[in-house]
Chains A and B, each alone.
Chain A
Amino acid sequence: MAGLGGRMSTVIKAKINRMLDKAEDPSETLEYSYAKQMELLQNVKKGVADVVTAKKRLQLQQQKLEQQVVKLDTQARQALAAGREDLARTALERKQFAQTELQSLDQQVAELEAQQQQLIDKEQKLRSKLEQFRTKKEVIKAQYSAAEAQVKISEAATGVGEEMADVGLAMQRAIDKTEGMRARANAMDELEAAGAFDDNLSLTQGQDDIDRQLSQLTSSTAVDDDLEKLRRELGQGAGTTAPALEEGTPTQQPQEGQR
């Protein structure tokens, strides 16, 4: 149906009606509705569980990214303190990227939360409509002639059926969305496992380059410190190490050592 002539609402209504699968006999409709309802409610429960799982997974990724942001921030500080502005810039660029990713994750988590709430609401509404239907049916039977009652019950059944079809549709959409996000989460996990996630974040080369360069800086400082310590322990050149700590006049140190 190339609906160019049709209306959006007409197409949707036709489809919903097709999902309804109306039964002829109202009492059968009720039985049918009941079986269908149980099945649907089970599905909705499972759907909600799926949404929660997907949400937890995204939240885990959020945590990882948050750690990444903290780490990159620390790296940037370290690099800048070591006078490596270029490294600091790279780290900050990556931090920016990670933050953008985080925002998109926030949005997805919020979307899943809305989806979860919607399903719970829909389930509640369907339960209550079905309850109403059961009560109403008896009232109608008592108030109207058999023929009239049949029509009225049938109408009410249609209303309930439409609600069921709508819950079914809400379920379907929740599943589709969750699957889309799950696929994305899977892809992110795989990338991360393959070490490509960090590359992705880095925008330039491998993630470890900042680490490597920073650790080179730190380790050369650490080696210097260790050397000093050793010298001190060995009582070697008391003047060589001590000044920085004891005399607080490092400028004198090389002079003393030279003497």
Chain B
Amino acid sequence: MIVRIATEDQYRLPDEDAKRLNELDNQAVAAVDAGDEARFHAVFDEMLTLVRRDGHKLADDELEESDVILPPPDLSFDEARHEFTGDGLIPD
């Protein structure tokens, strides 16, 4: 599985991590939905850590499409909220 951390790097991760990543992703969205900023940052950090720890950076000669793209690591809670309410990080 190829995961990109936006504005950073692409990583190759074992497929087993997909499940955990999805769980965390759902938790992150739930935290945003609940307006729980601390929880959101905790969960998002865990996602980033998981990818950086388990993943190997793709070399420059590997031209691969990512299966999963995580938001930029410096994503603020405000940005995350906007992300899920329409006009987000990347304007449509």
Q: Judge whether B60 and A125 touch: CB under 8 Å.
A: yes
Q: Judge whether A8 and B7 touch: CB under 8 Å.
A: no
User: CA–CA, A10 to B66, complex, Å?
Assistant: 11
- Please choose the segment from A78-86, A162-170, A211-219, A236-244 that sits at the chain B interface, where 4 or more of its residues have CB less than 8 A away: A162-170
Q: How many A-B residue pairs have CB under 8 A?
A: 101
Given contacts A2-B86, A155-B65, A162-B65, are A8 and B6 in contact (CB under 8 A)? Answer: no
Tell me the interface secondary structure of chain B in the complex.
loop
Q: Judge whether B65 and A9 touch: CB under 8 Å.
A: no
Q: Which residue of A lies closest to B61 (CB)?
A: A132
- Please choose the segment from A12-20, A201-209, A222-230, A245-253 that sits at the chain B interface, where 4 or more of its residues have CB less than 8 A away: A12-20
Residue of B6, B29, B62, B89 near A7 (CB, 8 A) is: B29
Q: Can you give 30 A-B contacts (C-beta < 8 A)?
A: A1-B84, A3-B85, A4-B33, A6-B84, A7-B26, A7-B29, A8-B44, A8-B84, A9-B21, A11-B83, A12-B6, A12-B70, A12-B83, A12-B89, A15-B89, A118-B8, A122-B7, A125-B60, A129-B60, A129-B63, A132-B61, A136-B61, A136-B63, A155-B65, A162-B65, A163-B63, A166-B7, A169-B89, A169-B90, A173-B72
Residues of A that sit less than 8 Å from B by CB: 1-4, 6-13, 15-16, 18-19, 118, 122, 125, 128-129, 132-133, 136, 155-160, 162-163, 166, 169-170, 172-173
